[in-house]
Amino acid sequence: MRPAHPTEQLVGMDHYVSAADGVGGRLRQRDDHFRVRELERFATEPLSASTDAYPHLVFRATLSGWDTNDFATRLSDALGISRERVNWAGTKDKYAVTTQLFSVYGADPDDLPDVSGAEIEVLGRAGRSIEFGDLAGNAFELVVSEPESPENAAAITDELAAFGGLEGGDADDESSTSVGVPNFFGQQRFGSRRPITHKVGLEIVRGDWEGAVLAYLSNPFESEPDATQEARQFVFDELCEGDDRDWHAALERFPSGLRYERSLLHGLAECDGEPGPVDFRKTLERLPSNLQRLFVHAAQSYAFNLMLSRRLERGLPFEKPVAGDVVCFSDTDAPEGLELPDIDREQRVDERRVRSVTRHCERGRAFVTAPLVGTETELADGEQGEIEREVLAELDLEPADFDLPGEFHSTGTRRAILVRTGLEYDLEPLTLSFSLPKGSYATVLLREYLKVDPVDLG
């Protein structure tokens, strides 16, 4: 174990579990250096099936240079239909080559347009649209550009295999083994270049609506353009304190491209007098609903990451339970070779059950969990329970705090603390291939190999 990059520590990832030096380099030098293919579990009927019973056309698209949302908009515009009639299971990044499923309500194969950067394979028809639950996971094939020490991949792989309770590979140029890493939420959850969404979320959950707005508007980072940094610094210097604050002056300083920040400032500038708590909350509610949810989810994710870091520091295992842990069992419908937790099937592990549950964990049938805290969260017992309570106390949070209005409300859930995968790598060029369950981040595995600034992880 060794200290993580300072930017990762800002979001609760305090350590690398592998002590070996990284390979260096960076990701996404080219789109085809980052390939992602969905692991599907969605059944279709033949194209000849009745369109009355099966009105959704299902196809697989391989996209290059397309964000999923942008491709869906391009598709709906070409078909002359509402964007709401296009559905998919997981949103993918623009700077990659991605293969994923789509469904379109009321379309025929001949209706599908030719789209530059998209290869479309029609699969059949379905009686319902594709949903998030239809995504089991993703398979990755990633090239590391300009690695400084690619030979370090062997030692890192062996350490990650040991961490996951698995056997390591050898030091050949071509290696295949199974590895495990803490199931952290990756940097993207919090903002790759400006990791502040959890700060906003923490203020929301504490009921400080003003603090949430100001956290979003201020907090400049060096990775931002100079004009943006100056605008945020103005908010920090002039608006974070005091009763006579000039929201119009701040609005004039924010570049036009920062539309969410400008929307918040418009709302505050329109207030009759100095804004109060209700005004700040209503201002936040001007933002898209998915962004409102993201703030709270980021706060939950930050607390989760801290809990995993503390478990590492205590030397507690990730691959098997200790007394007091809460485990979940595997999803029996997962694609072959993919360990997929089913968070709806939980069990609290007392002293009598540790040995039997350990056997389930060793076989990939059960997973130790930690909470994404919400109103219905029940904390663990034993040492893990101590960790969970310690982190929440430090953050001044408790489950009842998540009883919030509208999109900010969260009942919480649990999440596996370890993610394991089979991994293959080649050294020339340095290429890593692996699969992860839905909700797990490729960068959380890759950070162990590269050990670089998170910006270089894409």
> Would you state the pLDDT for residue 457?
84
Residue 305 lies in a domain: yes
56: Cα separation from own chain's centroid: 28
| pLDDT band with cut points at 50, 70 and 90 for residue 167 | low
CB 54 within 8 A of CB 45: yes
Residue 192 lies in a domain: no
Residue 189 lies in a domain: no
Residue 22 lies in a domain: no
Residue 402 lies in a domain: yes
In this predicted structure, the answer to whether residue 243 has a pLDDT above a threshold of 80 is no
> Would you state the pLDDT for residue 258?
92
> Would you state the pLDDT for residue 171?
39
CATH number at residue 370: 3.30.2350.20
pLDDT per position as a tens digit, 44-76: 999 999 999 999 999 999 999 898 889 999 999
Are residues 94 and 41 located together in one domain of the fold? yes
Are residues 131 and 160 located together in one domain of the fold? no
Are residues 345 and 431 located together in one domain of the fold? no
Q: Write the burial class of residue 321 (CB in 10 Å: 0-12 exposed, 13-18 middle, 19+ buried).
A: buried
Gap between the Cα atoms of 229 and 234, Å rounded:
9
Give the residue-averaged pLDDT of 220-248.
86
Q: How many domains are there within the chain?
A: 4
Are residues 395 and 407 located together in one domain of the fold? yes
Are residues 7 and 96 located together in one domain of the fold? no
In this predicted structure, the answer to whether residue 360 has a pLDDT above a threshold of 80 is yes
Are residues 327 and 252 located together in one domain of the fold? no
In this predicted structure, the answer to whether residue 338 has a pLDDT above a threshold of 60 is yes
Are residues 424 and 279 located together in one domain of the fold? no
> Would you state the pLDDT for residue 174?
46
Residue 202 lies in a domain: no
| pLDDT band with cut points at 50, 70 and 90 for residue 176 | low
Are residues 388 and 333 located together in one domain of the fold? yes
| pLDDT band with cut points at 50, 70 and 90 for residue 168 | very low
CATH number at residue 247: 1.10.1510.30
> Would you state the pLDDT for residue 169?
41
Are residues 404 and 330 located together in one domain of the fold? yes
CB 312 within 8 A of CB 400: no
Residue written as tokens 């060096």?
Answer: 222
Give the residue-averaged pLDDT of 12-18.
97
Residue 148 CA: distances (Å) to CA of 428, 429, 446: 12, 12, 15
Percent of the chain at pLDDT > 70 equals 97
Are residues 407 and 380 located together in one domain of the fold? yes
- How much is the mean pLDDT over the chain? 91
Gap between the Cα atoms of 298 and 290, Å rounded:
12
Domain termination site, one of 262, 287, 312: 287
In this predicted structure, the answer to whether residue 172 has a pLDDT above a threshold of 50 is no
Contacts of 312 (CB under 8 A, 6+ apart): 1, 14, 15, 17, 182, 318
Active centre residues (catalytic): 93
Domain that holds residue 356: 291-416
Residue 193 lies in a domain: no
> Would you state the pLDDT for residue 170?
40
CB 424 within 8 A of CB 175: yes
Give the residue-averaged pLDDT of 308-312.
97
Are residues 240 and 357 located together in one domain of the fold? no
Residue 236 is classified by DSSP as I
> Would you state the pLDDT for residue 104?
95
Percent of the chain at pLDDT > 90 equals 74
Identify the sign of the CA torsion 121, 127, 131, 137: negative
Are residues 38 and 103 located together in one domain of the fold? yes
